[in-house]
Amino acid sequence: MLTTRFAPSPTGFLHIGGLRTALYSYLYARKNGGKFLLRIEDTDLKRNSQEATIAIREAFNWCGLDYDGEVEYQSKRFDIYKKYIDQLLKDGKAYKCYTTQEELAQMRAEAEANKQRPKYDGRYRDFTGTPPQGIEPVIRIKAPLDGVIEFTDGVKGYIKFNCEDILDDFIIARSDGSPTYNFCVVIDDALMGVTHIIRGDDHLSNTPKQIILYEALGFKIPEFFHVAMINGSDGAKLSKRHGATDVMEYKNMGYLPEALLNFLVRLGWSHGDDEIFSMHQMLELFDPYNLSKSASTYNPSKLEWLNAHYIKTLPFERLADDMLYFGLDFRAINKGQMLLDLLRERSKTLLELKASALAIINQPTNYDQNAVKKFINDDNKLLLSEFANSLGNANMDAKAVEEMTNEFLTQKGKKLKDLAQPIRIAITGSAVSPSIFEVIEFIGLDELKSRIQNFLKSL
């Protein structure tokens, strides 16, 4: 069965680059009726954070990426790793190395002096003497001394590494017995049945080491897909200065998970000139063999555009649920669906949607002074006062309000431009809002009259 996985380290928040990798892995598994696994690589006990583990799972829940089975934790699998380390030692494919830190430092200094890559010299590779006293050994794999490691990457194509150039007998277990990253990854992926590994191309240098371990242990080598990085607009690796990198920060900024996933799937993959993809369409169309070899560029404007699209198109019930996170319950507001539908066309984020809603729900206590200077004069102050006095008490829909307003303006020999902005400022405190007639339908004529009177008193 086709099986993919996402395996983050719980040393911080879930980076959006990590979420993209998880999304690609999820889509490929689900499209093929396979399994998608979540594994927490928490063997670095000094740097692990329980809060980070919770944050990773929280981000998955928010984005709707479900995984198969239970979450696997490497920290609970040390007995398994020890079993395979002992097996490699027994088979003569690994060995105990007693080289001291001082000796390693000397090797490094000599290599640098000779302008060579620092490399362990293999002095304990075939050691049969008496081990030195007082030194806890590390365990090293017997890596090939010559030849090539080659494989076909699903993204980058054929790749070849010369063993003598890049490899030495790398450590698979530290002196305290704890296994190293590459060793744990191979054991876990093999035992969990992972068939396809999609990950960032910063892991490409790990691949030859892992292939050596797969072969030493007799495990089947999975297919690899090394995805190009996400860069900022300046071409540098994506960082905080380019925008948020924590997945959950996007939720707090008012982005929808559909928009974020749609945005991320396009950072490295495309289908013609299409920009908008539902989860159903992603599952139908995504193919990791079509991932771009080139780095993609983070464009916050594109994310805003996508978010605005989903705010416009998602059902009321769904948006109402999401707005509860920001402390606004549209279901509890009289004509709440009308208000949300009125605002969704002009909102890029849920925070903007909330701010616009509160500007209409609540009587303004402050008024944009630039708008007041630009649009308010003695003539339209009088016109606004007369308009308020002409209002009845029966509430009307937007069309009826527009007809009533036009009749009033005809009687006064005025045009809508003479009254529209003063009304808008009076009812929202700003010169920017949806259609004033729809806003008036929402707040009602009594409230309109009250807001106009309060505005005129403030002048």
Span 307-319, pLDDT tens digits = 999 999 999 999 9
Query: What is the pLDDT averaged over residues 60-77?
Result: 93
Cα torsion 288, 292, 294, 298: sign: negative
CATH of domain 78-227: 3.40.50.620
What pLDDT does residue 459 have? 87
Contact 258, 195 (CB under 8 A): no
> Was 293 annotated as part of a binding site?
no
What pLDDT does residue 49 have? 62
The pTM for the full model equals: 0.91
Q: Which residue matches tokens 């500007």? A: 359
**Per-domain boundaries in the chain:** 1-68+228-313, 78-227, 321-360, 363-458
Contact 169, 97 (CB under 8 A): yes
CATH of domain 1-68+228-313: 3.40.50.620
- pLDDT band of residue 233 (cuts 50, 70, 90) is confident
Residues contacting 422, CB < 8 A, separation 6+? 375, 376, 380, 381, 383, 384
Architecture (CATH level 2) of domain 363-458: Orthogonal Bundle (1.10)
Query: What is the pLDDT averaged over residues 183-192?
Result: 97
Out of 54-58, 173-177, 190-194, least confident range: 54-58
Span 318-368, pLDDT tens digits = 999 999 999 999 999 999 999 999 999 999 999 999 999 999 999 999 999
- pLDDT band of residue 47 (cuts 50, 70, 90) is low
Residue 185 has pLDDT above 70, yes or no: yes
Query: What is the pLDDT averaged over residues 233-260?
Result: 84
What pLDDT does residue 9 have? 83
C-alpha torsion 16→19→24→27, nearest 10: -130
Establish whether domains 1-68+228-313 and 363-458 are of one fold: no
